[in-house]
Amino acid sequence: MLGYIVKRLVSLAISLIVASVVIFVVIEVAPGDPASFMLGLNAQPDTVAALRAELGLDQSKVERYLSWVGGMLTGDFGMSYTYRTPVAQMIADRMWVSLPLALYALTLSTFIAFPAGIFAAARRGGPGDLTVTGATQLGVAVPNFWFAMMLVLIFAINLRWFSAGGFPGWDDSFWGGIKALTLPAIALALPQAAILTRVMRSSLLDILGEDFMRTARAKGLTARQALWRHGLRNALIPVLTIIGLQFAFLLAGAIIIEQVFFLPGLGRLIFQAITQRDLIVVESVVMLLVFAVIMVNFLVDLAYAAVDPRLRTRT
């Protein structure tokens, strides 16, 4: 088990290094000089040069890469070109919206998908299964912003249970924050839940056909006991894979939902930064997202090993 964790950690470190190099190179290649962009079209060349020096853009590429990575390791992400505020602070503010939102949506989608998937698999071909499968078809097909608009129409405009958008922050009250994130989280969660339900169902159906499920029945377990005790854990591996992918998506891919609900999240930050050529913000946010995705994959790998003993001894 220890060997397995060490191997995963080594591959995690290598992925991070490779990702940082790729991100740096790609951003460097992208056209547009931040200094001239910030100063506008009529700027004097020497002013631009001075700003370039101030921003560190005149250093060699290797120096800039190393100072970027070194800075990130110490929590210094540099200064935003546009807002002249520390990037770390900007990201941290947004993170307090995006991370809870992603976790909230993921929790909802898992809590919907597990029972729904198990319910459908246990009633394969029956009316319950057909209903669930039909609903997931719809959930996969309908875009999440449509759900978002419907939720706003029903729960914010008609019923007035929630506000239609905005985020009050966590300082006033925890529940206020949760309430503001509820509709966006549901909108994000529904399509994800639909996908996860389908994966759960098909994975469980595969397992139900396995020989050891028959063995379990021959021992005297009821169909339900066999499913819960022997089926579920074996069916989890593909489900964990999807959960890992979904978390990564939810963290950064919520940009449309953030727009619909006026949430100051990471997705909107990166969108603004790109349109304003705020390359240092783009670099840092992308690197942070890559870090998050790799960490999630690492956790998923650990979860695999926890679920399946064969992976602990495998090399």
Q: List residues near other proteins by CB under 8 A.
A: 6, 210-212, 214-222, 225, 229-230, 233-234, 307-310, 313, 315
CA 144 from centre of chain = 15
Residue 213 DSSP SS3: helix
Selection from 109, 103, 108, 114 nearest residue 140 by Cα: 109
Which residue, 91 or 216, has its beta carbon nearer to other proteins? 216
Compare residues 225 and 259 and give the one whose CB is closer to other proteins: 225
Q: Which is nearer to other proteins, 73 or 218 (CB)?
A: 218
- Three-state secondary-structure class, residue 79: strand
- Considering the complex, what minimum distance in angstroms separates the CB of residue 4 from other proteins? 11
Give, as one character, the DSSP assignment of residue 86: B
CB of 111 or CB of 212, closer to other proteins: 212
CB of 171 to other proteins, least distance (A): 45
Shortest Cβ distance from residue 300 to other proteins (Å)? 16
- 122 neighbors 169 (Cβ within 8 angstroms): no
Give 3-state DSSP helix, strand, coil % of the chain, rounded to 5.
Answer: 80, 0, 20
Would you say 243 or 251 has its CB closer to other proteins?
A: 243
Q: Of 132, 140, 102, which is closest to residue 114 (Cα–Cα)?
A: 132
**Residue (6 or 92) nearer to other proteins, CB:** 6
Taking the least distance from each CB to other proteins, the nearer of 230 and 277 is 230
CB of 13 to other proteins, least distance (A): 14
Q: How far apart are alpha carbons 165 and 155 in whole angstroms?
A: 11
- Cα-flanking dihedrals φ and ψ of residue 86, to 5°? -60, 135
Q: In which element (H, E) is residue 219 found?
A: none
Q: Which is nearer to other proteins, 213 or 281 (CB)?
A: 213
* Count of C-beta atoms within a 10 Å radius of residue 36: 16
With beta carbons less than 8 A apart as the criterion, state whether 265 and 166 touch: no
Smallest distance from other proteins to CB 306, Å: 10
- Cα dihedral across residues 302, 304, 305, 307: positive or negative: positive
The minimum distance between CB 200 and other proteins, in angstroms, equals: 17
Shortest distance in whole angstroms from residue 181 CB to other proteins: 36
Shortest Cβ 302–other proteins spacing (Å) = 15
Nearest to 95 by CA among 228, 292, 273: 292
Residue closer to other proteins, measured from CB, 90 or 207: 207
- Least spacing, CB of residue 236 vs other proteins, in Å: 9
Task: Give the CA distances from residue 292 to residues 15, 72, 250, 265, 275, in Å, rounded to whole numbers and listed in that order.
Answer: 12, 14, 11, 15, 24
Question: Cα(222)–Cα(201) distance, rounded to whole angstroms?
Answer: 19
